[in-house]
Amino acid sequence: MATLEAFWRLTGAGWALVRADALIPRELEPLLPPSAKLAGRVLRLFAGPAARKGRPGERLAAVLERQGPAAIKMGQFLSTRADIFGAAFADDLSRLKDRLPAFPLSVAKAEIARNLGKPLDEIFAEIGEPVAAASLAQAHPATLVDGQKVAVKVLRPGVERQVARDTAVLRLAARLAETLVPVSRRLRPTEFVEVVIRALELEMDLRFEAAGCAELGEAMAKDPYMRAPAVCWEGVGKRVLTLSWAEGAPLSDPAALDLPGLDRKALAENVTRGFLAQALDHGLFHADLHEGNLFIAAPAAITAVDYGIVGRLGPGERRYLAEILYGFLNRDYARVAKIHFDAGYVPAHQDMDAFAQALRAVGEPVFGRNAREVSMGRLLAQLFEITALFDMALRPELVLLQKTMVTVEGVARRIDPTHDLWAAADPVVRRWIGRELSPAAKARDFAEEAIRAIKALARLAETPTTPPPVAAERLHTWPLLWFLVGAATAGAAFVTGVLLAR
């Protein structure tokens, strides 16, 4: 029954896109190959009155808004890539970030009181009308009883049911893609969708968001690039979140970039460097950095809100990411290729030298050129061709990282159209490389490995006070084991001293 409902919802979404001429819009016809032109003309035979109203982005935004939270999230992502889809298209979709219809203040107050389990006047002196409404929740300005200005986020009524229906549709769409479009299997649509669904499920509990905000806030405070609001824990519940008020103007406001004294170049660099510092240095990052979640103030201050999706990277993924970026920064394509093979991103049977050559073909035309001269659409198409040529499968554990990197670059380019991603990344990447791959770091890693070995040897040497006869022979191994322990300790100390003295 659930599958049948999901099928009808998926069919309904497709039909809505066709009726609004938002699937293959007529405005794109001059840019399309003959086969796509023909498909678009056939689909427009079924278009309705909505197809004749507004621009393609406006029509698509209207359809996505009616389809629910998952579709709105997709629209938010597309709206960050004005360099690929055009400024008008991105602007038309931008209202999906924080300008959706709000639900009444009375409903929000009742939900806050019910969720926190106490009267509102015990925590808040005042709660105002909503100032932003997104796919899952809306935000209200408020004042605590001690006079502190805060923002209160409240989940939409019934949003959990909507998300559950959306996840069923996403799973069905992924299965259909794998069955009907064999080439899509390389992208692992089923695993990709599960990552998206898991992120949506975590967003349904605002206590997790509060914890993510606090944790990321501690990490952000170590660099000057970005800040997080403070969590007001007395105003946190499963469906309610209270944070200190984010100063500045929302980046989704078209007038924000015209603020007096704003340094757009530095602001764009802070967006890129803030994300990379989080991912590389701390292994966790804000995974929803679209304009609706960023507040800016002159000259280049950024406060990020909405921590419903936090991405995490293990030590291995962080190292691979840093070394790949470092290799590109130094135009060392052989090194970048080797790291891809070492990480398992490219199957071992492929030709490493040929892959390095393909990377050079992508990287060289970009370096030293103004960002306005680089077609991101063409670049992404070339990268996709390379992943197909070398049998590179999508890595589900890196989905949030890849999606956020694309979003961050799109946001930075909208702030500063000449933004150079590589130049912005350079100091953060080189700092990580200098810290983690220096002789001192190698000595530290060696010492840690030696300590682990020593502990393992010590565990082997442990024996009961009165050993049984069968285990008595182990006592004769003690001198040898402790000799190995001493040798390992002395070796670690010697190597550490030599490396640190270099």
3-state SS track over 223-248: CCCCECCCECHHHCCCCEEEEECCCC
Mean pLDDT to the nearest integer, 494-500 = 41
Question: Which is more confident, 484 or 165?
Answer: 165
Q: Identify whether the C-beta of residue 100 lies closer than 8 Å to the C-beta of residue 134.
A: yes
| Separation of alpha carbons 310 and 308, rounded Å | 6
CB contact set of 40 (below 8 Å; sequence gap of 6+): 23, 24, 25, 26, 28, 29, 32
Query: 149 φ, ψ to 5°?
Result: -85, 130
First to last CA, the chain: 69
How buried is 103 (Cβ within 10 angstroms: 0-12 exposed, 13-18 middle, 19+ buried)?
A: middle
pLDDT given for residue 427 in this prediction: 93
pLDDT at 493 over 80: no
pTM of the model: 0.76
Categorize the per-residue pLDDT at 378 as very low, low, confident or very high, splitting at 50, 70 and 90. Answer: low
Q: Strand pairing partners for 127?
A: 142
pLDDT given for residue 498 in this prediction: 40
Q: How far is CA 38 from CA 25, 98, 126, 127, in A?
A: 12, 36, 58, 54
Of the listed 21, 166, 288, 306, which one is catalytic? 288
C-alpha dihedral, 208 to 211 to 212 to 214, nearest 10°:
160
pLDDT given for residue 195 in this prediction: 79
Question: Which is more confident, 163 or 479?
Answer: 163
Q: How many CB atoms lie within 10 A of CB 208?
A: 18
pLDDT given for residue 186 in this prediction: 72
Give yes or no: 445 in active site.
Answer: no
| Separation of alpha carbons 225 and 216, rounded Å | 13
Q: Identify whether the C-beta of residue 248 lies closer than 8 Å to the C-beta of residue 396.
A: no
pLDDT tens track for 435-459: 887 666 556 555 666 676 667 766 7
Of 185-189, 240-244, 422-426, 473-477, the range with the lowest mean pLDDT is: 473-477
Mean pLDDT to the nearest integer, 324-331 = 87
pLDDT tens track for 349-366: 999 999 999 999 888 887
| Separation of alpha carbons 143 and 465, rounded Å | 65
| Separation of alpha carbons 103 and 124, rounded Å | 20
Token look-up 């509102």 returns: 120
pLDDT given for residue 127 in this prediction: 97
pLDDT given for residue 84 in this prediction: 64
| Separation of alpha carbons 498 and 502, rounded Å | 6
